Structure 1
């Protein structure tokens, strides 16, 4: 299970003087219509270029332009990747909280932190996210592999991650996944192959991606009807894990590893991606 401490560590990340962190948290939350993550400062002194990028990151990452990307690199230089990782935290931790609240599960996660925030000025956000948080989520095993893969592929299409769309997880393939089945994800409501359980999960994915501040009660009820509390929590964190693709998409680093077709990989017991 993802511990509350995992989210607390994400919340406490505030590199350097914390001003850029405050800025992206304020902008992402305003864009989503959700409560902002706590910050050390009010963020008024941030860069306009960073604010514009953060807003587009939260609204629709697929619409970030080459010009926006170029200007961000010019302003931030070597710190660009870390700042965009901060945008991911500011963008998706509030979505997770809203999703769990709508589902009525995961009460332990609904507070940002369990006590006073000890701000972390030294840890690299990229290291904390990619080497800590994401593998922790990937090690969860309450959800069956096929549902997890269907959810991942929906997130891949919604964020238009070329790399994610080109990958296929082998455990899910062994559990009944196929190109025919996956082809129905785009128009899943009309599918005769995807189960009602899959469709309930996919509606929830779309809600977290596109309308996290207004999750329909019917969408939440669908998840509760088909998933246990532990599965619903894992489903929510899976959407966040998959959405780390927004970082690559935002920075134009989502090119597939293969020129044609798809590539298989295994998500191993340590939460690591092993290409086969």
Structure 2
């Protein structure tokens, strides 16, 4: 099942900006340990904090991992005070450190291969991590189509609420609407276990999404069995990567840059052939 996405994920694992090696090591250690997951490897491992600025970065990274929606304006001010204009880059590093270990553990629990975390990384200081994220990883995942559009949208909306992303909650994917998705169905996501509109496959996918988001180190055998029962190996991998793609909203939420697309109601979009979000003209 290896494809170009594994190579992209490897790029993000081995990227090591020359002027941020300690920052990356700090963030990777704090996010992994907060989640009770094995942290991503780092060229400069950090086991102890040395300055008030590092304390501020570590605190922000910890809250980013636990519940990004609870990050306050004061937290953001502390981060900016610690890293200045590099705040966006630091938060992007938090996303990698936070979610790649979740993906790795989810795939392993499902019995799927993880070949993108090298045992002996060859560190690359020249990787533009933001470019890889926004122009390779996220659109690459969006182009995967083994999972039906309604299931993909149901999982996306679950993540939108979990992270309280105002932008994500204001959007509806057009192909899913055309395939039978509806506001009545989407309203049921909040109490999906008792829903008569969501299928058993939807419910299995939502249980797995919840586990990746809230308890990634404790994905139960029952949750994993539900995914295997209703989805092929290819689809299970896609579901895992979908949860990660959706969780990139944590970057915007953490920086309070997640304004809704419309003031009222929702806006329709589709994923174009390049895996990018395309809106109709307002």
Please give the TM-score of this superposition, normalised by the length of structure 2.
0.94
Q: Secondary structure at the match of 1:265?
A: strand
Partner of 1:153: 157
2-structure distance, mates of 1:3, 1:51: 29
Q: Which residue pairs with 1:132 in the alignment?
A: 136
- 8 Å Cα contact 2:139/2:276 also seen in 1: yes
**Counterpart check, 1:20 vs 2:23:** yes
The Cα of 1:124 is off from its aligned counterpart by 2.8
Contact 2:167 2:261 in 1 (8 A): yes
Secondary structure of the residue aligned to 1:274 is strand
CA RMSD of aligned residues (A): 1.2
Equivalent residue, structure 2, for 1:214: 218
1:76-120 per-residue CA deviation (whole Å, 9 max, x = no partner) reads: 122111110000000000000110111112x1x25612x632222
List gaps (5 residues or longer) in structure 2.
none
Query: Mean alpha-carbon deviation: is it higher for 22-31 or for 45-54?
Result: 45-54
In the alignment, the residues of structure 2 paired with residue 2 and residue 143 of structure 1 have an alpha-carbon distance, to the nearest angstrom, of 18
**Counterparts in 2 of 1:58-73, with a 5 A limit?**
58-73=65-80
Q: After alignment, is 82-91 or 15-24 more displaced?
A: 15-24
Residue 217 of structure 2 aligns to a residue whose secondary structure is helix
Q: Which residue of 1 aligns with 2:56?
A: 49
- Following the alignment from structure 1 to structure 2, what is the Cα–Cα distance between the partners of residues 216 and 17? 36
Cα distance in 1 for partners of 2:169, 2:5 equals: 29
Q: What is the CA distance between 1:128 and its match in structure 2?
A: 1.4
Aligned to 1:112: 117
- Counterparts in 2 of 1:70-219, with a 5 A limit? 70-105=77-112, 107=113, 109=114, 112-113=117-118, 116-219=120-223
CA distance in 1, matches of 2:117, 2:180: 38
